[in-house]
Amino acid sequence: MITSAQAAAVEPYESNGLGVVVSGATATASVTLTASVQTVAKYAGICARTTTGTSADFPMRKRVALGPTPVTLTSSRTFEVGTYTYRACVHVNGRWYDVGDQKSFVVPTAGSSDADGPAPSPTPSSSPTVSDSPTATSSPAPTSSPTPTSSSTATSSPTETTATAIRTDVVPRVETPDLPGSGDIADDPAIWVNPKDPSLSVVVGTSKAGSGGGLAVYDLAGRQLQFRADGKLNNVDLRTDVQLGGVPAVVLTATDRTSNRLRFYRLDPTTRQVQPVDARTVSTGSSRTASPCTAPRRAGRTLSSARRTAAASSSTSYATTRDESTLTGSGPLR
């Protein structure tokens, strides 16, 4: 989410009547939103945070038309005991906006119901009053004293400790642009963490679109830094400890369903661009190649890439060895 100062400078949204009503562990929030210009928010509602900053948002309304006409949103969910801050928020054009002032609410402990809870448990100790049944001196009566074991039914009291399910809707803070095409095309990404400056880390994703598929590189704001239209790429994985030409390199492996092969790329940490480093074609022998996994077989010398097919749960390993600045392959290996 952007800061309050940033929001105040740019946001065209206003909130009124923001409030929360707490009943037991359930909180119900409502707010009325308006916008200076007509727009459609991908998500709109009330964002909430714990005292440690953990997201505890109320369920969001999707695709909300906002404009000068007020729109009232109401949402409920259960919370753990604690104090929470909340405010209205909207997600428009891939960006979150905080709207209006921040408020807080408290979800209290069960209180008297908890305090009263321990008290009845001593009442099983009143079951000793059953022991005044011995005053009947009829010694057989003590055999009925096992009925105190029925007081063990008090052990059923633990079953009264029912857990309350807490629902949390997870909504994105950042989104990448849509990939060209339709259907199930964007697939499993790989994340490279820049060891010198984590803010310059990248997310590498794939598109297995039948036309225009390839490999995409994004920064942490969701902006696309590069797209290589290399075919119907399904999944991607990476390693940071591969020696290429005697220099440690970040190497990515992707499965290509267009040519039924593995593709290898090198990521330049400075430009955050990828370039192919295949020395030759490493065939997978299947058009349903999925889920590559890269791992070192021998430090600084080899790389192993595993794949599986959707039709059968078989996997094949391909060893690739260092060859100056490129990778070559041979396989399968078991």
Distance CA 233, CA 256 (A): 4
Sheet of 186-192, strand order: 186-192, 202-207, 214-218, 224-228
Q: Provide the pLDDT for residue 289.
A: 62
| Together in a domain, 201 and 273 | yes
| Together in a domain, 146 and 255 | no
Helix (H, G, I), strand (E, B) or coil at 318: strand
| Together in a domain, 166 and 242 | no
Q: Does residue 178 lie in a domain region?
A: no
Greater confidence (153 vs 24) lies with 24
Greater confidence (187 vs 89) lies with 89
Tokens of 233: 């790429």
Indicate which CATH number applies to the domain containing 312.
2.120.10.30
**Cβ neighbours of 156 (radius 10 Å):** 8
- Overall domain count for the chain: 2
Q: Provide the pLDDT for residue 219.
A: 93
| Together in a domain, 262 and 148 | no
| Together in a domain, 63 and 91 | yes
Q: Contact, 48 vs 80, CB < 8 A?
A: no
| Together in a domain, 242 and 320 | yes
Question: What is the residue whose two structure tokens read 């105040």?
Answer: 8
Domain boundaries, position 2: 1-130+142-173
Q: Which of 11-20, 135-144, 247-256 has the lowest mean pLDDT?
A: 135-144
| Together in a domain, 124 and 191 | no
Beta bridge partners of 21: 28
Residue at which a domain ends, from 119, 150, 173:
173
Report the mean per-residue pLDDT for the chain: 74
Tokens of 320: 């690739």
Distance CA 2, CA 52 (A): 18
Greater confidence (274 vs 260) lies with 274
Q: What are phi and psi of 18, to 5 degrees?
A: -65, 130
104-149: pLDDT as tens digits: 999 998 754 433 334 344 444 444 434 344 444 444 444 444 444 4
| Together in a domain, 195 and 329 | yes
Q: Provide the pLDDT for residue 153.
A: 46
Q: Provide the pLDDT for residue 195.
A: 92
| Together in a domain, 200 and 240 | yes
Tokens of 226: 């590069």
β-pairing, 82-92 vs 39-49, is antiparallel
| Together in a domain, 214 and 282 | yes
62-91: pLDDT as tens digits: 999 999 999 999 999 999 999 999 999 999
Q: Does residue 137 lie in a domain region?
A: no
266-290: pLDDT as tens digits: 999 999 999 998 878 887 776 666 6
pLDDT at 172 over 60: yes
Q: Does residue 180 lie in a domain region?
A: no
Indicate which CATH number applies to the domain containing 42.
2.60.40.3880
Q: Does residue 96 lie in a domain region?
A: yes
Q: Does residue 136 lie in a domain region?
A: no
Q: Does residue 135 lie in a domain region?
A: no
| Together in a domain, 1 and 148 | yes
Distance CA 67, CA 229 (A): 40
| Together in a domain, 17 and 148 | yes
The C-alpha angle 147, 153, 157, rounded to 5 degrees, equals 155
β-pairing, 247-256 vs 233-244, is antiparallel
The identity of residue 127, as a single letter, is S
pLDDT at 152 over 80: no
pLDDT at 2 over 70: no
322-331: pLDDT as tens digits: 344 455 444 4
pLDDT-based confidence at residue 161 (cuts at 50, 70, 90):
low
